[in-house]
Amino acid sequence: MKKLINDPANVLSESLLGVAAAHPELRVDHEHKVIFRADAPRPGKVGLVSGGGSGHEPLHGGFVGHGMLDAAACGEVFTSPVPDQITAATNGVDGGAGVLHIVKNYTGDVMNFEMAAEMAGATGGAEVVAVVTDDDVAVQDSLYTVGRRGVGVTVLVEKIAGAAAEAGRSLSDVAAVARRVNAEGRSMGLALTSCTVPAAGKPTFDLPADQIEVGIGIHGEPGRTRVPLAPAAELARMLVDPILDDLDFAGDGVLAFVNGMGGTPLIELYLMYHEVDRLLAKAGVSVARSLVGNYITSLDMAGCSVTLLKLDDEMLRLWDAPVRTPALRWGL
Amino acid sequence: MKKLINDPANVLSESLLGVAAAHPELRVDHEHKVIFRADAPRPGKVGLVSGGGSGHEPLHGGFVGHGMLDAAACGEVFTSPVPDQITAATNGVDGGAGVLHIVKNYTGDVMNFEMAAEMAGATGGAEVVAVVTDDDVAVQDSLYTVGRRGVGVTVLVEKIAGAAAEAGRSLSDVAAVARRVNAEGRSMGLALTSCTVPAAGKPTFDLPADQIEVGIGIHGEPGRTRVPLAPAAELARMLVDPILDDLDFAGDGVLAFVNGMGGTPLIELYLMYHEVDRLLAKAGVSVARSLVGNYITSLDMAGCSVTLLKLDDEMLRLWDAPVRTPALRWGL
C-alpha cells in the first residue's frame, strides 16, 4: 500500500487538521470529527447535516459552507459516524428552525442518524427530519444496504436543499425539495480497479487486469456484473441504459453528472461525459446543466459513475443559486 | 492499461468534445485543439494564452475563463502543442492589447511558443510577450528541460496574471506580474506510482512497491532520488526543505499549495497539507492563502507536489479577485 499517510489509524484525524488549516471559513470539531460552517448555527435557518464514512471526499466535508451543508459528521474510512458525532453536528447547527439530516442509504448510517436524531431531540431539543438518498439503480439490496444505495444524487440533494435552506425556507419545505431531488435522480457506477482502505493495507477486492465491475458501490461492494474492459462508448451505455430504463427523463431537461471515483484522471472523465451526452441526445433527453469531476469518490478507485437528475424550474433555480464550499463554489 | 477511453489515439480529441459539451461558457476549436473563452477576443484586454501537453488536467484548459486564461492550446498527451495550434490560440484572443504567452519551461514548449509568437506577429499582427515558468527546485536540468521545469507555479501565474489582465492592465504590466509570481514561487513533487500514457499502454517508469521518486517531473521524468516510502510527515519535509532552502519565504505571507498528481485521494492531500502547514509554522513562514487539490496532474500518477509563493499585497489582491473557470472559481 502506497499512501501519503502516517499511521493508518490516524488518517481521518490528521486529514481534518489539514481541512481546518486550509479553510478558515470552516470550523472543525476535532473531538467529534465534525466539519462546521464557521458561522453555525445560523439563527432562523434550517440546519443541514450530512455525513457518513470517510474516503468519499470531497463528500461530505467539502460541501460544508454557504448554500450547502452546515455540518458534516465524518466517520472513519468507509465506517458510519457514531450517533455521538451526528448529535454534536445536529446540536451545533440548530438555529431554531430545525435540522435536516441527509443520509445515504446504508444500514449503519441510517441507524446511527436515527439514534442521533432522538438524542438531539432529547438533549438540545432540535426538531430533526431525515431524508435518505437511494439513487443507485445497480442493485436492489447490497452488502451494506436494504434497498438501493445512496450515491451521486446525494451531492445534488446537498446543493439543492442547501440553497432552499439558505433562502430561508421551512424545515418541511427543505425536506420536500430534498426528497424530490432524490426521487428524480438515478445513478450507476463502474470500477476499473479496487480501492485500498488504509487500515486494511490491501485492495478491497480483486479485479483481474482485463475485467471491470459494473454497478460498483462506493465502498467497493459488488455490483451487477463483471465484464471485460470495453471502449468508453460501450461503458457509458452500461451506465446510462439502466438509468434511462428506470425513470423517464423526458421533460424540461436534466442535470448530467459524470463523477470520478478518485483514481481516474479528468481527461477520461470528460471523454466519458462526451459519450454520456451523445447517448442522452440519442434518447431525446435534453441536458440543462452538467457537472464533471471527482465529487463522491471511493479513495483511489479508478472508475466513474453517472447521475441524472430530472430538473424542474425550482430545482434549476436552486442549483444555480450561489454556493461557497471547498469543492463546489460559484457566485460567492 | 485500464482507462475510460476508446482509441488511445483519440483521447484528447474526444475529451475536448466532452469539455465543449459540459461548458457552454467555453468555445472549443476542435481542428486546432484550442479551448477559448466563448467571448474571446475581448477588445482592449490583454489576451492570455497557455498550453502544453495534455494529461495535466485541469491545467490548462480548466483554467480558461473570466479572470484567468483566454485560451489554452492542448497538445497530445505529454506532447508540446505544435506552433499552428498556439498561433490559432494567439490570434483568437488578440483584442488589440497584445497577448501574453505563459509557457512551462520544457524545451519543446518554449520552442513552439516562440515559433507561434513569430507566426502570430506575421499573420495577425498580435504583439506577443512570453513568460516562462521554471519553479521546480528538484533538478537543474532534466530530460526535457534546460534549466528548471515549470510546474505548480504555472497555475498561480495564470490566476494572478489573469486577474491583472481582467483589470485592464497593459501587456508589459501583466507580463511583469507574471514574472514576479514565477520569481517568488518554488515547487517540488514526489511520486508514489508511475502514470500510464494511453498511447504507450504501460507505466512510464518502474517504481518498486516500497520506493518513491522524490523530485518527480509531471511527465514522470526522473527526480532527485529514489527513497523508501516514508510517513507523510517525512515526505512533507522532503518537499518543503528544498523549497525553503532555495528562497527566503519570510515576509508578509505565502500561498501554500498542495497539489495532487491525479491518482491520490483528497483525504491524503489534506493530510499532507497539515504536515506542510506545520513545517511552515516551525520555519516561521506565515500562510496567507492556501490551495489543496488536483490542479496540475500527471494522468493517474499517485503523489503530490508542494508549491510556495511569496505574496505581496498586489499578488494577494489579484489572487482574491473573482474568477470563473471550470477548475478555479469564486466571486462569479
Q: Is A297 in contact with B265 (Cβ distance < 8 A)?
A: yes
Per-residue confidence (pLDDT) for residue B145, from 0 to 100: 83
| Choice among B23, B66, B101, B219 that is catalytic | B219
**Which tens digits make up the pLDDT trace of B93-114?**
999 999 999 999 999 999 999 9
Q: Is A299 in contact with B270 (Cβ distance < 8 A)?
A: no
In chain A, domain spans: 13-184, 185-311
| Residue numbers in A near B274 (CB within 8 A) | 14-15, 17-18, 21
Mapping DSSP to helix (H, G, I), strand (E, B) and coil, where does residue B51 land? Answer: strand
CA distances from A75 to A22, A91, A169 (A): 20, 17, 29
Phi/psi of residue B165, nearest 5 degrees = -65, -40
**Which tens digits make up the pLDDT trace of A69-125?**
999 999 999 999 999 999 999 999 999 999 999 999 999 999 999 999 999 887 778
Exposed, middle or buried: residue A123 (CB in 10 Å: 0-12, 13-18, 19+)? Answer: exposed
Q: Provide CATH code, domain B11-184.
A: 3.40.50.10440
Q: Is A266 in contact with B294 (Cβ distance < 8 A)?
A: yes
* B124 pLDDT above the threshold of 80: no
Cross-chain CB nearest to B265 (options A57, A268, A329): A57
Per-residue confidence (pLDDT) for residue B121, from 0 to 100: 81
Task: Specify the CATH superfamily of domain A185-311.
Answer: Dihydroxyacetone kinase; domain 2 (3.30.1180.20)
| Residue numbers in B near A232 (CB within 8 A) | 4-6, 14
**Which tens digits make up the pLDDT trace of A215-241?**
999 999 989 999 999 999 999 999 999
Per-residue confidence (pLDDT) for residue B26, from 0 to 100: 98
pLDDT > 90: percent of chain A: 94
| Residue numbers in A near B74 (CB within 8 A) | none
Q: Is B57 in contact with A22 (Cβ distance < 8 A)?
A: no
Per-residue confidence (pLDDT) for residue B272, from 0 to 100: 98
Per-residue confidence (pLDDT) for residue A140, from 0 to 100: 86
CB pairs under 8 A between A and B: 189
Please answer whether residues A263 and B267 qualify as being in contact, where contact means their C-beta atoms are separated by less than 8 angstroms.
Answer: no
> What letter would DSSP give residue B149?
P
Nearest Cα of chain B lies from the Cα of A282 at a distance, in angstroms, of 14
Q: Is B18 in contact with A270 (Cβ distance < 8 A)?
A: yes
Mapping DSSP to helix (H, G, I), strand (E, B) and coil, where does residue A201 land? Answer: coil
Cα separation, B46 vs B234, whole angstroms: 43
Per-residue confidence (pLDDT) for residue A187, from 0 to 100: 98
Cα separation, B277 vs A16, whole angstroms: 13
Q: Could you tell me if residue B176 is left (phi over 0), alpha (psi between -120 and 50 degrees) or otherwise beta?
A: alpha
Q: Which of B267, B278, B296, B320 to mutate to test the interface with A (most CBs of A within 10 A)?
A: B267
Q: Is A271 in contact with B11 (Cβ distance < 8 A)?
A: yes
Per-residue confidence (pLDDT) for residue A121, from 0 to 100: 81
| Choice among A23, A32, A56, A66 that is catalytic | A56
In this structure, are strands B47-54 and B71-77 parallel, antiparallel, or unpaired? parallel
Cα separation, B118 vs B86, whole angstroms: 11
Nearest CA in chain A to B212: A2
Which amino acid is residue B264, in one-letter code?
T
Which amino acid is residue B183, in one-letter code?
A
**Which tens digits make up the pLDDT trace of B145-193?**
889 999 999 999 999 999 999 999 999 999 999 999 999 999 999 999 9
Give the containing element (helix H, strand E) for A254. strand A254-260
First to last CA, chain A: 39
Q: Is A16 in contact with B273 (Cβ distance < 8 A)?
A: no
Chain centroid offset of residue B302 CA: 17
Among A70, A30, A72, smallest CA distance to A53 is for A72
Per-residue confidence (pLDDT) for residue B126, from 0 to 100: 87
Q: Is B15 in contact with A265 (Cβ distance < 8 A)?
A: no
Which fold would CATH assign to domain A13-184? Answer: Rossmann fold (3.40.50)
List alpha helices for chain B, DSSP H. 11-22, 83-93, 107-123, 153-166, 171-183, 232-246, 266-282, 313-320
Per-residue confidence (pLDDT) for residue A141, from 0 to 100: 80
Mapping DSSP to helix (H, G, I), strand (E, B) and coil, where does residue B11 land? Answer: helix
Catalytic residue status for A56:
yes
Per-residue confidence (pLDDT) for residue A158, from 0 to 100: 98
Cross-chain CB nearest to A332 (options B269, B297, B330): B330
Mean per-residue pLDDT, A18-28: 98
Q: Is B267 in contact with A229 (Cβ distance < 8 A)?
A: no
Catalytic residue status for B56:
yes
CA distances from B331 to A58, A156, A332, B245 (A): 21, 21, 4, 36
Cross-chain CB nearest to B54 (options A229, A267, A300): A267
* pLDDT grade for A6, boundaries at 50, 70 and 90: very high
* B123 pLDDT above the threshold of 80: no
Q: Is A21 in contact with B231 (Cβ distance < 8 A)?
A: no
Q: Is A6 in contact with B233 (Cβ distance < 8 A)?
A: yes
| Choice among B56, B60, B66, B101 that is catalytic | B56
Per-residue confidence (pLDDT) for residue B14, from 0 to 100: 98
* pLDDT grade for A172, boundaries at 50, 70 and 90: very high
Cross-chain CB nearest to A262 (options B4, B14, B265): B265
pLDDT > 70: percent of chain A: 100
Q: Which of A5, A266, A292, A323 to mutate to test the interface with B (most CBs of B within 10 A)?
A: A266
| Choice among A23, A32, A101, A219 that is catalytic | A219
Q: Which of A270, A272, A306 to mutate to test the interface with B (most CBs of B within 10 A)?
A: A270
If one compares A139 and A276, the residue with the highest pLDDT of the two is A276
Mean residue pLDDT across chain A = 97
* B143 pLDDT above the threshold of 80: no
Mean per-residue pLDDT, A39-49: 97
| Residue numbers in B near A272 (CB within 8 A) | 4, 18
Q: Number of helices and strands (H, E) in chain A?
A: 8, 14
Q: Is B15 in contact with A192 (Cβ distance < 8 A)?
A: no
Q: Which residues pair with A54 in a beta bridge?
A: A77
Cross-chain CB nearest to A6 (options B16, B231, B331): B231
Cα separation, A241 vs A245, whole angstroms: 6
* B60 pLDDT above the threshold of 90: yes
pLDDT > 90: percent of chain B: 94
* pLDDT grade for A143, boundaries at 50, 70 and 90: confident
**Which tens digits make up the pLDDT trace of A189-223?**
999 999 999 999 999 999 999 999 999 999 999 89
If one compares B223 and B302, the residue with the highest pLDDT of the two is B302
Among B67, B72, B70, smallest CA distance to B162 is for B67
* B68 pLDDT above the threshold of 80: yes
Mean residue pLDDT across chain B = 97
| Residue numbers in B near A216 (CB within 8 A) | none
Chain centroid offset of residue A56 CA: 8
